[in-house]
Amino acid sequence: MCDTCGCNVTPGNEHLVAAGGHLAHTSSGSESVEVLKGLLAANDHQAAHNREHFDQHKTMAVNLMSSPGAGKTSLLEATIEALGTDLTIAVIEGDLETENDANRIREKGVAAVQISTGSACHLDAHMVHGALHDLDLDGIDVVFIENVGNLVCPASFDLGQHYNVALLSTPEGHDKPAKYPVMFRAADLVLVSKCDLLEVLGDFDPDTAEAYLRQIANPAPLYKVSAKSGAGMASWLDWIRSEVAARK
Amino acid sequence: MHELSVCQALISQVAQVARDRHATAVTDIYVDVGPLSGVEPPLLRNAFPIAAAGTVANNATLHLQTMPIRVRCEECGAESEVATNRLTCQSCGDWRTDLISGDELLLQRVVLEDCKAGAEAYV
């Protein structure tokens, strides 16, 4: 949906458009100007530019989102270990402070650029664009963008990724998709992480998590994975391999 | 709390419209917000004076309209108004639906003061 031609007029807001007319002058001499532009148009424009940059290099970009501590960095470490010889991977790390996560990734022998957001609770397309200046995409098959741990704000900002992958760790509870519908509606793939804890916890039902995901009309696949034990990682790794292959 | 970022983007767009039409002040800003946009209207309202301070929208009133969430069923075609975390068809119960309204974050209209006659129209 673009922000210029009026196709963003929906059945929910068309009455406002019809009532106003294109440019209405009021009797007081002030002027009413119809704009009809998405508030995040500048971000979306930059995101489209980022996506073009990824496409030119046939690089798949994945935006990883979850609450803090759901295991994004551990998942990436295990993913790099499993795919490192087949695929060339790079990582953009978003955190409020520290280079700790980028250093963990670099120890695996993979290029990592750290974005320190300061107090910002999410990455936006401009931050990712800045990070891309420090990352040569030649020969890179997949870039993982590890977003700031947060189930709210990152969902509103397109970064130029091809896919959103949301992690839902088992200790968080299976009703997270119902509690954070905006985030989980945006997910193209949901990973139930730390699934090695399912037995210990006893009260996380993956089928219920999937039912909540369908209730927000999201057809995304849901895989159970454990970066620690390796259980279920094959589905996730196969997904990456087939999506990367599809872009070549 | 990304509402301040969103508000700053809003002010930047409003300022551009005002510049294009050579207006000296903005009196009213009309924004549509859908619950699935991820932006909370009360937080947007709180962030607005901070983002607007010292800009052409310094004294503007922000009018927020919350949009309904509506879906169309892919199976039976029915349209229903639904809750944020239950986007299923209210007619047949199927979960395969398309969102037709409810994720808006749209600058609808601004009211400007003292526009110079003959200014270029902004479209």
The pLDDT tens digits for A67-114 are 999 999 999 999 999 998 999 999 999 998 899 999 999 999 999 999
SS3 state of residue A172: helix
More confident residue, A132 or A6: A132
Task: Quote the pLDDT of residue A217.
Answer: 97
Residue of chain B whose Cα is closest to the Cα of A176 = B85
Structure tokens at B4: 């301040």
Give A-chain residues touching B113 at CB under 8 angstroms.
29-30
What's the pTM?
Answer: 0.87
- A3, A36 contact by CB (below 8 A): yes
Rounded to 10°, the helix B3-20/A41-56 angle is 100
Restricting to A residues 65-124, those with a Cβ less than 8 Å away from any Cβ of B are 120-122, 124
**Of residues B39, B67, B110, nearest to A33 (C-beta):** B110
Query: What is the least distance, in Å, from the CA of B58 to any CA of chain A?
Result: 16
H or E element in which residue A25 lies: strand A23-25
Give B-chain residues touching A220 at CB under 8 angstroms.
none
Does the domain formed by A42-246 have CATH 3.40.50.300?
yes
Residue of chain B whose Cα is closest to the Cα of A27 = B113
Contact across the interface for B2 and A157, Cβ inside 8 Å = yes
Task: Quote the pLDDT of residue B116.
Answer: 59
The string of pLDDT tens digits covering residues A164-215 is: 999 999 999 999 999 999 999 999 999 999 999 999 999 999 999 999 999 9
Task: Quote the pLDDT of residue B52.
Answer: 96
Task: Quote the pLDDT of residue A120.
Answer: 81
The secondary structure of B17-74 as a DSSP string is HHHHTT-SEEEEEEEEE-GGGS--HHHHHHHHHHHHTTSTTTTPEEEEEEPPPEEEET
Task: Quote the pLDDT of residue A19.
Answer: 40
Task: Quote the pLDDT of residue A29.
Answer: 64
Give A-chain residues touching B111 at CB under 8 angstroms.
26, 30-33
Task: Quote the pLDDT of residue A24.
Answer: 43
B92 touching chain A per CB within 8 A: no
B117 touching chain A per CB within 8 A: no
More confident residue, A141 or A117: A141
CATH code of the domain occupying B3-67+102-113: 3.30.2320.50
A26 touching chain B per CB within 8 A: yes
Q: How many residues does chain A have?
A: 248
Task: Quote the pLDDT of residue A118.
Answer: 86
The Cα A17–Cα A24 span in angstroms is 11
- Contact partners, residue A44, CB within 8 Å, separation at least 6: A3, A38, A125, A158
Give A-chain residues touching B36 at CB under 8 angstroms.
181-182, 185
Residue of chain A whose Cα is closest to the Cα of B110 = A33
**Of residues B27, B32, B86, nearest to A215 (C-beta):** B86
Task: Quote the pLDDT of residue A30.
Answer: 81
Q: Parse chain B into domains and list their residue ranges.
A: 3-67+102-113
Query: What is the least distance, in Å, from the CA of B87 to any CA of chain A?
Result: 5
Q: Parse chain A into domains and list their residue ranges.
A: 1-38, 42-246
Query: What is the least distance, in Å, from the CA of B53 to any CA of chain A?
Result: 18
The string of pLDDT tens digits covering residues A24-51 is: 444 456 888 999 889 999 999 999 999 9
Query: What is the least distance, in Å, from the CA of B54 to any CA of chain A?
Result: 20
Task: Quote the pLDDT of residue A22.
Answer: 42
B107 touching chain A per CB within 8 A: yes
Q: Mean pLDDT of successive 10-residue segments in chain B (123 residues)?
A: 88 95 94 94 94 96 97 98 96 97 96 66 40
Task: Quote the pLDDT of residue A20.
Answer: 42
Task: Quote the pLDDT of residue B2.
Answer: 85
Q: How confident is the model at residue A119 (pLDDT cuts 50, 70, 90)?
A: confident
Contact across the interface for B6 and A217, Cβ inside 8 Å = no
